[in-house]
Amino acid sequence: MEESIALVTGSSGYFGQRLVKALAEEGYVVRCVDLNPPESKLPEKCVFHRANMLSKEEMEPLIKGAEVIFHTASAGMTGSYQLDENLNKKVNVNGTSNILNLSQKHNVKRFIFTSSYNVIFSKKELVNVTEEEPYPDDKDQYDWYSKTKKEAEKMVLAANNEDFRTCALRPNGIYGLEQGVTIFKFGIGTCILDWCHVMNLVEAHICADRKLKEGIDVSCGKAYNISDDAPSDPYVFLFPLFKAMEQPLPQISLPFYLVFFFAYLSEKLTSFLLVAFGFRLEPIVTRNECLKVCLSHYCDITAAKNELGYRPGNYKFSDAVDILMKERKTKRRWSEIINDNRYKFYFAFALALVANYLFKFIYHE
């Protein structure tokens, strides 16, 4: 009996490696595609291929003969990369288009896209919303990652037909835990967020593949919210990490509009340096990151449960932290974090001075 072939883009990433292992356990021969090889040894019948998903010549022979594509690769999730219009359009839009076209050309049967809550996140809260939540306008999204992932998701879902079944899975992720100014928290009040353990995201992809394979129309051409189904306050959720790193929870609360203003100025400077000189300066915080920690955003996953058969496992963040700390050679203390991010503190202080002088100037006028 001929073995089924699955192709995974972004296979060397933290999520990609775990998805490859799960697909191997499902009986697939897996073509692992990325720009860099994986850190760990691949399971039997899984082969790494160094390829650029923007290249038709490199991707075509890998896609040919595949039964299902898991498109997990993307660019622009964090920091200055969110603001890089060219990078995000090239990878998230053009790259997805290239893989979609080649998949249809070579009669791939199923296409599963790793999307993001970002496609529906803008400047308003998302409170237990379903997949019926409309896409926000581009003008209401402040980063190119959100805009381009939204465009890519639309492309994938529109490509669905009887012979080429597609779906998109939207997780909410945790990014940059050790980056930025962790002694501050933004805004006031309680913010509730969704979280998604990596193995729950893997399970969702396996469930989606099984349903698309069955050809049940209800699951084809649709997007699904994916989470642990346990929304919580971010600082409560992340407490085990702060504890393990011997850091207190953030106590200094900064006004939202002040942080948002600093984020705007920081973005402008970052974008200017990137376009004018090709120099990548990491912003203190972006407006999207500011909104993410100030606005509640959690979604209803009933559709994923009922239509995909998805059942999130009961994982504990504290267990993940234990594994993380065992893998670290040394713990990062306050002095190390401040030293690594000192230019951000200097920049924040400079911005505060500018804002102070502007306020005094306007007030006296």
Active site residues: 145
Nearest residue to 194 (alpha-carbon basis) of 283, 80, 317, 364: 317
Nearest residue to 114 (alpha-carbon basis) of 162, 69, 82, 80: 69
Give the separation between CA 111 and CA 134, rounded to whole angstroms. Answer: 22
Cβ neighbors of 207 (< 8 A, separation 6 or more) are 304, 308, 309, 310
Helix/strand/coil for 145: helix
Give the separation between CA 265 and CA 268, rounded to whole angstroms. Answer: 5
- Are 276 and 107 spatial neighbours (Cβ–Cβ below 8 Å)? no
- Are 8 and 63 spatial neighbours (Cβ–Cβ below 8 Å)? no
